[in-house]
């Protein structure tokens, strides 16, 4: 190799190596001092989001408490089914309709539980977006969560509607005038109907919470769209 070629190679290596090494060192040094992006919303918006997050937390706590209440009700219904289905149960001819009614109430309870779990998940995702907006998380991540919420909302709606319909059918399920029931069947009817009314009130409040969440997600989407993107991480000078 003639000496001139060696010199050229050396100069070429230096010309590429020095800026390359310098850039690498600069980037490496920057990456060690990465600070999380600051929130870019107004003070008012941040305060509102904080309040909303507080309300969502409250919803989650009460929804989780409701879930454990539902589990207890299911256990009670299961207990009634076991009791009514025993051969020596004292209900006579009313035993069979009472048993089928109890089974329907048990099935409704299971449906209600799964609807409740879906709504709890929905509230948790909303809280995630609210928290992300407050803390200045990348908008694309928030939009992904919002999209997941939007895609999921019709399924939750369908589940709630199915549960509502099934509860309405159960209301006429016993097909017997309770006044005609003799004791102890009348007392059993009262126990089962109180379980059923609890389910009815729960499913109606669940429907309302879900529809509130759908409008809330819509408002969140607009807020995320309006918030400036977090893109100051890399900016070249010219």
Q: What is the C-alpha separation between 88 and 154, in angstroms, rounded?
A: 47
Closest listed residue to residue 126, CA positions, set 229, 9, 33, 223: 223
Smallest distance from the beta carbon of 56 to other proteins, in angstroms?
23
Smallest distance from the beta carbon of 135 to other proteins, in angstroms?
14
Nearer Cβ to other proteins, position 3 or 36?
36
Nearer Cβ to other proteins, position 27 or 165?
27
- Burial track 12-33 (b if 16+ CB lie within 10 A, e otherwise): eeeeeeeeeeeeeeeeeeeeee
Q: State the residues that interact with other proteins by CB under 8 A.
A: 16, 19-21, 23-24, 26-28, 30-31, 34, 37, 138-140, 143-144, 147, 221, 224-226, 228-231, 233-238
Report which DSSP code applies to 224. H
User: Residue written as tokens 């709606």?
Assistant: 157
Name the region of 85 (left: φ>0; alpha: ψ -120 to 50; beta: rest). Answer: alpha
Nearer Cβ to other proteins, position 31 or 68?
31
Residue 78 CA, distance from chain mean position: 28
Smallest distance from the beta carbon of 223 to other proteins, in angstroms?
11
- Burial track 178-202 (b if 16+ CB lie within 10 A, e otherwise): eeebeeebeebbebbeebbebbbeb
Smallest distance from the beta carbon of 46 to other proteins, in angstroms?
19
Smallest distance from the beta carbon of 139 to other proteins, in angstroms?
6
């Amino acid at each position: 190799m003639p000496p001139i070629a060696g010199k050229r190679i050396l100069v070429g290596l230096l010309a590429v190596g020095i800026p390359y090494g310098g850039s690498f060192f600069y980037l490496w040094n920057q990456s060690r001092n990465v600070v999380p992006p600051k929130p870019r919303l107004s003070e008012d918006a941040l305060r509102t989001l904080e309040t909303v997050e507080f309300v969502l937390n409250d919803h989650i706590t009460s929804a989780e408490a409701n879930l454990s209440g539902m589990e207890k009700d299911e256990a009670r219904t299961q207990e009634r089914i076991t009791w009514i289905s025993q051969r020596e149960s004292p209900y006579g001819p009313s035993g069979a309709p009472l048993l089928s009614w109890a089974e329907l109430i048990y099935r409704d309870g299971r449906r209600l539980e799964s609807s409740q779990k879906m709504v709890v998940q929905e509230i948790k995702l909303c809280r995630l977006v609210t928290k992300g907006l407050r803390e200045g998380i990348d908008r694309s991540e928030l939009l992904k969560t919002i999209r997941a919420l939007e895609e999921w909302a019709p399924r939750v709606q369908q589940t709630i509607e199915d549960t509502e319909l099934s509860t309405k059918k159960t209301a006429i399920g016993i097909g017997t005038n309770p006044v005609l029931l003799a004791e102890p069947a009348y007392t059993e009817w009262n126990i089962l109907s109180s379980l059923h009314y609890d389910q009815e009130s729960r499913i109606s409040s669940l429907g309302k919470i879900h529809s509130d969440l759908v409008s809330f997600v819509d408002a969140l989407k607009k807020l995320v769209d309006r918030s400036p993107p977090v893109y100051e991480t890399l900016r070249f000078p010219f």
